[in-house]
């Protein structure tokens, strides 16, 4: 649970007034989309640096990133017929 609280502290520090348990995505932070719309660049950088700092400081923590290109998946006829 300590990791959760450390990330929450970073979010509240960089984004004053955000809702509790706000789920954020790096792409939203970087591109100022959705929940990060209107947040100035300095605070978005502060948020990303803070999150990376927490990840760096935790032992035995792995960061996994997955990007799915939906258009390419749907180009595959088999997958298009099985994924809805």
The values of phi and psi at residue 17, to 5°, are 85, 5
pTM over 0.85: no
- Residues 37/43, Cβ–Cβ less than 8 Å: no
pLDDT band at 80 (very low <50, low <70, confident <90, very high): low
CA dist 78 and 33 (Å) reads: 32
pLDDT of residue 49: 92
CA dist 39 and 32 (Å) reads: 7
pLDDT at 79 over 70: no
Which tokens go with 75?
A: 């180009």
pLDDT of residue 65: 78
User: pLDDT digit string (tens) for 2-60?
Assistant: 888 888 888 888 877 776 667 778 888 888 877 778 888 888 888 889 988 988 888 88
- Residues 14/47, Cβ–Cβ less than 8 Å: yes
CA dist 41 and 72 (Å) reads: 32
pLDDT at 62 over 60: yes
């Amino acid at each position: 649970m300590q990791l959760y609280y450390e990330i929450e502290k970073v979010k509240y520090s960089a984004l004053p007034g955000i809702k509790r348990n706000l789920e954020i995505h790096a792409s939203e932070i970087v591109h100022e989309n959705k929940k990060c719309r209107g947040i100035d660049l300095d605070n978005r950088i502060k948020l990303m640096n803070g999150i990376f700092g927490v990840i760096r400081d935790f032992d035995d923590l792995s960061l996994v990133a997955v990007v799915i290109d939906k258009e390419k998946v749907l180009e595959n006829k088999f997958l298009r017929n099985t994924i809805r």
